[in-house]
A and B are shown apart, each in its own frame.
Chain A
Amino acid sequence: MTSTLETRRAQTATEVVVSVDHLRVRYGDTLAVDDVSLSINRGEIFGILGPNGAGKTTTVEAIGGLRRPDGGAISVLGLDALRNRQELRQRVGIQLQASELPDKLRVGEALELFASFYRDPADPDRLLKLLGLEAKREDRFANLSGGQRQRLSIALALIGRPELAILDELTTGLDPQSRRETWKLIEGIRDEGVTVILVTHFMEEAERLCDRLALLHHGRVIAIDTPAAMAAGAAGRQRVSFRPSGVVDVARMRELPDVRDVVRHGDRFTVEGTGDLVAAVMESLVRDGVVPLQTRIEQSTLDDAFVALTADADAVVSEHADPTREESR
């Protein structure tokens, strides 16, 4: 089973299942999505990341056929998101932010109801078990906790056995334990061959789950890459800080190829740079006969990349200041 799965994945590794080309969506006078282009391959978990109001939800709603674009083109599973909406609804599962079910609808009823809409649904019982909701089968929606509602919502997005699952703010409001369980679940879905679009503003989630991600800001894509490359690339800085046992030749250290800057705070030095920064700094210190004390090494994270990239984008934006570019959602 695993081997056929892998073969299938290898065969379809480069098949594009979602392609968005210069998408633009406005609400009245507000430009929610300005210019978004991206393409998503079959079988990957694609993250859409960005600060509040970046246009993430609007983008995935347009992909899911829930919003009519004002410009650009969207193709999902080879179908036009608006013209082939009916077929798309069969093959795309969507988990929306903040959508509730009728208060008195029971968990099991909800799953069976949604299952009845699809040509070839998953087994509701299996899905309930997978999501740890089997004990809640007879519970009414109104009596579920936030985490249970969220899991039910995921179950409903998956009940039609979609080829593409769009999950918006999947783990918002979950405790760390359930968040981790949900992540495992998403990886499981991916391993079964489903393509997943994950909207999130949790760096940790993006880093852990996503094969690739797009960083959105003010309705534009400002970076698309793997999480690791994004963390290392755009803002890919490392920082080594230490208290030297003797005199440091700051000028020579600045000359080192991987070093970008050396800053001194009292008796503490911080060296910023890229590549094999730590090795270079240590070697230089050893040559001077200086021992580094209380050394701290900081790798830049996706968080840093996020802050750096959005700050860069802001700098560009403020040059042609455009106060209308706020999002509603």
Chain B
Amino acid sequence: MTAVAAPSVSTRARPRGFRRLLITELKLFAREPMLLFWGLVFPVGLLVVLGVAGGDKAQKSLGGVKLIVAYTPVVMMFVVTILALSALPAALASYRDKGYLRRLSTTPIGAARLLAAQVILNFGLAAAAVILVALVSHLAFSVALPQQLGGFVLAIALTLAAMLSLGTLVAAVAPTQRIAAAIGSLLFFPLMFFAGLWVPQASMGTTLRDISHYTPLGAAVPAVQNAIAGHWPGTVHLLVLAAYAVVLCAAAGRLFRWER
């Protein structure tokens, strides 16, 4: 700790330490058992239950597909929502409450990079979870892998952009971590309702289904379903997702506070 610093000879590119920050955030994520349960164990378990219980028959009430086929995109959205509305806002709000964001803003890395690390981490985890759900559905219950891969990737990316922006916005407007958690779970139910967690979209009335197509997850589910079935996701669904992503991201950016 010779503190009179010799002029630096290192020429590594900035931002220094970002990778370490990502790894550290991943480790911290892995130490949250509740998140691992709701984000991984529960959705995969749900998938298995639906796959086994739904059997092999296509059902008219589901638009002529098997239960597991109708639910695969819904379970994907479930994982995305857990990460975007629980994991992300909880981390960001607690880091702000604790003064950790402020602490980092005194270092060369800056507080904005922690936010970036959280968004990237949750994006990566959500993408991995979506792939996992697709693989489990495919391997265990022979649900087709996405036939329209480009459309699938685009739909998932837009969904993640919209949902992670929403999660950041929740952290931005909530004065404390507790309130962030409360807002997150309040949003969870309507969002997942329109996604079709309780009543699949195919079983909804026309009006309700039309409304649901203008909610983020209600647009995401048919987009993903189409892509899995080999069609290009509907332009309207993609535009709805993109619009949410842009508006929510702008609002989160404007409203986010770095300090208590």
A residues near B, CB below 8 A?
8, 64, 66, 86, 89-94, 96, 98-105, 109, 112-114, 116-120, 122-123, 126-127, 130, 156, 158, 160-163, 189, 192-194
Contact = CB atoms under 8 A, between A and B. Distances in A.
B259 to A, nearest CB: 10
B98 A96 contact: no
B4 interface: yes
B16 A102 contact: no
A92 B5 CA distance: 11
A14 B16 CA distance: 33
A117 B107 contact: yes
A66 to B, nearest CB: 7
A213 B234 CA distance: 69
Given A117-B17, A193-B3, 20 more contacts: A91-B5, A96-B102, A98-B99, A99-B99, A100-B100, A101-B100, A102-B28, A102-B94, A102-B95, A102-B98, A104-B31, A104-B32, A109-B27, A116-B21, A117-B16, A117-B109, A119-B8, A158-B1, A192-B3, A194-B3
B215 interface: no
B176 interface: no
B8 A102 contact: no
Which applies to chain A's interface (DSSP): helix, strand, loop or mixed? loop
Contacts of B24: 105, 109, 113
B20 A192 contact: no
A161 to B, nearest CB: 5
B105 interface: yes
A112 B24 CA distance: 10
B3, B32, B106: most-surrounded residue (chain A CB, <10 A): B3
Nearest to A118: B108
Nearest to B110: A89
A32 to B, nearest CB: 15
A192 B1 CA distance: 8
A116 B17 contact: yes
Contacts of B95: 102
A111 to B, nearest CB: 11
Given A109-B27, A119-B8, A126-B1, A114 B107 contact: yes
B103 interface: yes
A305 B105 CA distance: 36
B103 A99 contact: yes
A313 to B, nearest CB: 30
A194 B1 CA distance: 10
B100 A116 contact: no
Contacts of B207: none
Given A130-B1, A163-B5, A113 B99 contact: no
Contacts of B10: 119-120
Nearest to A195: B3
A190 B94 CA distance: 35
A86 B103 contact: no
B2 interface: yes
Contacts of B94: 102-103
A103 B27 CA distance: 12
B116 to A, nearest CB: 14
Contact of A162 (B3, B8, B17, B98): B3
Nearest to A109: B24
A130 B2 CA distance: 13
B167 to A, nearest CB: 18
B5, B19, B27, B95: most-surrounded residue (chain A CB, <10 A): B5
Contacts of A98: 99
Contacts of A192: 1-4
27 contacts: A8-B4, A66-B105, A66-B106, A89-B106, A89-B108, A92-B106, A96-B103, A99-B100, A101-B100, A102-B28, A103-B94, A104-B28, A105-B24, A113-B21, A116-B16, A116-B19, A116-B20, A117-B109, A118-B16, A118-B17, A156-B103, A158-B3, A162-B5, A163-B4, A163-B5, A189-B3, A192-B2
B6 interface: yes
Given A100-B99, A101-B103, A102-B100, A122 B1 contact: yes
A161 B1 contact: yes
A190 B42 CA distance: 55
A103, A114, A116: most-surrounded residue (chain B CB, <10 A): A116
